[in-house]
Amino acid sequence: MIKHSKLMQKTSEPVVNANDITRIAGGASIKGDLSSPTDIRIDGNIDGKVYSGGRVVVGETASLSGALMCSNLDLWGKMEGEIYVKDTVSIKSTSVINGNLHVRKLQVEIGAQINGSCRMISEQEYDKKVAQLTEAARPAAAAAPSAAAPKSQA
């Protein structure tokens, strides 16, 4: 009898590698947008939009200014701007938020500071908002390469 154990394994779930985590170290500073299909760990400073298809962890020394969009969020640091979370946000006691939250599930520790409003959203609302925000960024990015392309001479 032939065993078909390899054929019965699930192939639809992606394999997560520890090296697939984008890390912004303490002391590092980014001015501009950051996008990653995988998890992000931030301990430095970012001034711009941050998008992750996975979990974002914002450490105690981190400071973000702009918009943050992700599936799940653990926030220990400072955030100024709009936050969109597809599933769960966990706001730790050391965090300070100056902006609005748009989340599906919310957990807040005693001592956390939230200076803004909170709106509970569905996954569909999250997907629609992310599509709007990323679409707004596309024309500017698409226009830049064509402007830089050399003109052909006849």
* Contact of 89 with 72, CB cutoff 8 Å: yes
Average pLDDT over residues 14-34: 82
pTM for the structure as a whole = 0.76
Structure confidence by residue, pLDDT tens digits, 39-69: 999 999 999 999 999 999 999 999 999 999 9
Residue scoring higher pLDDT (1 or 97): 97
Structure confidence by residue, pLDDT tens digits, 89-145: 999 999 999 999 999 999 999 999 999 999 999 999 999 988 887 776 665 544 444
Spacing of C-alpha 15 from chain mean position: 20
DSSP secondary structure, 140-153, as one string: HHHHHHHHHSPPPP
DSSP secondary structure, 19-38, as one string: GG-EEE-TT-EEES-EEESS
Residue extents of the structural domains in the chain = 20-133
Residue 148 has pLDDT above 60, yes or no: no
Report how far apart, in Å, the C-alpha atoms of 79 and of each of 112, 141, 152 are: 12, 25, 47
